[in-house]
Amino acid sequence: MSETLGNPANIKVLDLIDRVLGTIADTIDDGEFPEIGYYGSSKKNVNYTEEKGYISVDDKASFIDGRKVESAKTIAGLVYGLTQFKEHLEQGLSMSLRDFYYLHKVKHVQKVMKITDQSETNRLINLCERIIRHRGASVSREEFGVVSSPKGTFYGDVTVSDLSGKRLNCNSAGEYGWFISSRPFDVDIHDINIDAAVFVEKEAMGRNLIELGLPESLRIGVGSLFGQPGRNMRAWIRRLADNEVPVLILVDMSPWSLRIFSTIKSNSIELANIQGLATPQANLVGLTTDDFWGRKGMLCEIEHSLESMTNSDVKCAQQNRNIPSISQDPILNKQNEIMLKQKRKGELEAFKAFGYPLVELKKLYIRYLKTKSSEYDVKLI
Amino acid sequence: MLTTNRFSPDITELSVSAWFYRNRTIAGFDNPARSLYVSIRELVENSLDACEDERVLPDVSVLLKREDETNQGQDMLSSGPEIFELVVKDNGKGIRKDDIPVLIGKMLTGTKFILKQNRGTFGLGGSLALLYGQITTQEPIEVVTGRQDEEHGYRIVMRLDIETNQPVILKEEIIEKAPHEKGTMVSYKLQGDWIRSKKRIIDYFANTAIIVPYASLLFETPDGEVLHYDGVIDRLPVSPREMKPHPRGIDVELLKKMIGATRSRTMKAFMKNSFQRVGISIAEDFLTYSGLDAERDPSTLDQKELVTLMNALAGFDKFLPPSPKSLSPATTEVLAAGVQRLSPDFVVFKQRAPNVHEGHPFVIETGVAYGGGLDSGISVYRFANRIPLLYDERSDVTFRVVRNLNLRNYGLRKEDPIAFVMHICSTKIPYKTVGKEYIGDVDIVRKEIELGFKDCLREISEKVRRRDRVHKQRKRENRLTEYYSFMAETLTSALNRNVSSDALVGSEGGEFE
């Protein structure tokens, strides 16, 4: 891992950290109270467009005034946090959000900062991302070496070198494929031999597709999101899209899954300041309301398998109306409204309700993927 | 109706002392525990009155001793009444030898028509206490007294004859004393229950020490403990003046007695001379209102006319309010000094303007103490005519007022250490019951207490707020210093250069706006 020390990205971040710490040090030395400005995550600072998803617009700045006690505490936390990032980066060691929280339990730090809840240190990291900026864009916490709960796998004929420095093919890295790097932007992609990448919300179905040999039959990559995708997974999807791989998303038919898809496609208001997390080219292949209720719906036959939406499902769908990336997206908005009307939801496991033998099931999956992706002009062999 | 000359042979005339003895529960002598407490209290108050009448800073010592010391150490709870010796000593000017039997041994009924604020709950002084002692122990009473500048004092041993209300001297002797020595010491034996009255009696001394902070009190308990309160201020309150009665609140019996005693030969002169705050013009207006002839001799009024007169006195609305000169408020200065015995952080006392209830003037003094040595939560101290009221707190109007105060309006909480002090002085305290332990919920009294407390709370709240502000400011400075020192340390080690926060938050505190 010694490579990270010489990583040009790390040198850039270390330089930024030193500059911020130096400025604060000078200010304090001069007997002045430091004041730090940043752009918060208020809706004013975020724009939504269908083409780019959420982007921060830096409209209304917030200020941390060091004369105030609570702000002084925040600045102290910031200073301490940055020195910890600096040390970790210099040593080429990453830390989790939980690690960062425990770094505040060092006795002399605890005595001053009196932090008792991880949400406080999480907020500090979020603040660091907003304050440390490079060429007008936030530096993400992964670049500070703070990596938390990376998740997601990818299987398919793609050759990469990740932070381990080793060159590997994603179709020969184990039964699930490659465990996606915590810092996909620092992964080198050497070779791509797939026509599209399918990302499946549920790990069980993703594994089934791999087991049935679909990646080989269709020349596709299959990724498992493991529910709401982590920041690393979203960045990886974006990397593939940037390399002109069509991205197909397969999720449940539920208001929650619309959110999963919209996060992949448009990012979120909360993280609008972090670039490279949105993939506007991502396509929702299923499950859609048309599959069950459309005139030529491929899943009409198993419409009976749908379950009623719970109260919280309905509430979620109602709130979706206020989420720009769903309500202003014609496809997602339509899906959401139909679900609200029908008050029923479908799950990926519904395919099993056909009761087909496995050979037939594989054919169904292939037919489904081919048909649905062709709607987006994605041709699979 | 029976008339005095038609007594049946079974009916005997009761002397005042015999009547009080038979009805002693009214005066609080209903069981050994309560009797012990009331006895001490009556004698202490007698001594305080005696000293204050002479404008002397009171110095009162009380010694309570078990007669039979062997009883000690036995099962405390099952032990019943015991015999005690009670000694009360003061530094008043002493009693002239000839006055001793009358002053100490006889229950006096007043014949003068005056109104004056005094302590004694029943106007009997300690006589009933002495009587109680004699009844329960059959032992005589000993009085030692000496007057300043006289060469010797006297020691008298006597007993009371209940039926005739006369003292009987058993022994009388002259004792040696230094010329400057003065004061009176009464000692006698009585039945009592110390274990069940201990808390009351100790509370009584603690509370009395608050309301008479100019007095030195010493109490030696039967357990050998000594409670000692030194005087903390050397100013006595202004003593009350004797006043003629106010025309309102007079009944026919009293009218008869007053007419019997007056030397005025016309109604006009009688009105002017026998009542307070009645001048010629008010007397004339009143007599016109009542329809009585101004020149009439009052002694010629018949029963029916007396009733008319009484009703007219109650109905006439042009009498001036009663004079508060007959009252002796404790004064805010004395009360504030007394409350220092609780060592609070802040004290505010307010005296209300005099007001009238049923023809008697009263003055309310209220105080609020906060913080310091006070216990958490609200405590209430009640005083009436400079004696503490210790029981039935929850029924007292003061407690009701306190309970209904909205402390949050003053930035205070119920859990804060707050003491409410109320002193009412009046020629007639509006007690609720014969026990005279709490004050009734009289509208005008409640209103005065409430306004008084609110006034105090406003000032206390300001003081507390100011202190909290200073605290907050200091805390803020401390925290800022802490944060910036921490930053300086962290930066020093991270940047390999010396960073100091001294210029920003110097050790001397620095300037913060």
Residues in chain A, overall count = 381
In angstroms, what separates the C-alpha of A316 from chain B's closest C-alpha? 42
**pLDDT, tens digit (0-9, with 9 covering 90-100), for A147-159:** 877 899 999 999 9
The pLDDT, as a whole number, for residue B309 is 87
Q: Which two tokens stand for residue A48?
A: 């939504």
Give the start-to-end residue ranges of the domains of chain A. Answer: 3-43+61-144, 153-374
The answer to whether B478 faces chain A, any CB pair under 8 Å, is no
Q: Please report the DSSP string for A125-160 in residue order.
A: HHHHHHHSEETTEEPPHHHHTB------EEESSEEE
Q: Does the pTM of the predicted model rise above 0.80?
A: no
Q: Residue A1: its pLDDT value, please? A: 42
Mutate to test the interface with B, among A16, A69, A86 (most CBs of B within 10 A): A69
A65: nearest Cα among A98, A105, A30, A38? A38
- SS3 at position B312: helix
Token digits for B504? Answer: 């920003």
Q: Do A73 and B483 touch (CB under 8 A)?
A: yes
How high is the pLDDT of residue B354? 87
Q: What is the ipTM of this complex?
A: 0.80
Residue B438 pLDDT grade (very low, low, confident, very high; cuts 50, 70, 90): confident
B59 pLDDT above the threshold of 80: yes
Which chain B residue has the Cα nearest residue A21? B491
Mean pLDDT of the residues in chain B: 84
Task: Please indicate if any CB of chain A lies within 8 Å of the CB of B507.
Answer: no
Q: How far is A227 from chain B (nearest CA, A)?
A: 40
B488: nearest CB among A28, A82, A87: A28
**Bridge partners of A146?**
A95
Please tell me the distance in Å from B411's CA to the nearest CA on chain A.
23
Tell me which chain B residues have a C-beta less than 8 angstroms from the C-beta of A67: 512
Given a cut of 50, is residue B331 above it in pLDDT? yes
Kindly determine whether residue B504 and residue A31, on different chains, have CB atoms separated by under 8 Å: yes
pLDDT band, residue B313 (cuts 50/70/90) = confident
Q: How distant is the Cα of A109 from the closest Cα of chain B, in angstroms? A: 8
Mean pLDDT over B28-33 rounds to: 83
Contacts of A151 (CB under 8 A, 6+ apart): A180, A226, A229, A230, A232, A233
Q: Measure the CA–CA gap between B388 and B407, rounded to whole angstroms.
A: 25
Question: How many Cα atoms are found within 13 Å in the side-chain-facing hemisphere of B228?
Answer: 4
Task: Classify domain A3-43+61-144 by CATH number.
Answer: 1.10.10
**Closest-approach residue (CA) in chain B for A76:** B487
In this structure, which topology does domain A153-374 adopt according to CATH? Dna Topoisomerase Vi A Subunit; Chain: A, domain 2 (3.40.1360)
Mean local confidence (pLDDT), B432-443: 81
Residue of B nearest to A110 (CA): B486
Q: Give me the mean pLDDT over the A217-242 stretch.
A: 93
Residue whose tokens read 């995708």: A229
Q: Which residue of B has its CA nearest to A87?
A: B494
Q: How far apart are CA B329 and CA B353, in angstroms?
A: 11
Gap between the Cα atoms of B94 and B99, Å rounded: 10
Q: Do A25 and B491 touch (CB under 8 A)?
A: yes
* CA-based nearest distance A136→chain B, Å: 25
> What does the pLDDT read at residue B11?
55
Contact state of A76 with B499 under an 8 Å Cβ cutoff: no
Set out the domains of chain B in order of their start, with CATH numbers: 16-68+79-229 (3.30.565.10), 252-315 (1.10.8.50), 326-463 (3.30.230.10)
Quick one: pLDDT band at residue A7, thresholds 50, 70, 90? low
Closest in B482, B493, B501 to A28, CB measured: B501
For residue A70, which of A106, A105, A113 has the smallest C-alpha distance?
A113
Which residues in chain B have Cβ-Cβ distances shorter than 8 Å to A73? 479, 483
Closest CA to A267 of A322, A326, A221, A315: A326
- Residues A333-351 have pLDDT tens digits of 999 999 999 999 999 999 9
pLDDT over 70 (residue B202) = yes
Query: CB distance from B505 to chain A under 8 Å?
Result: no
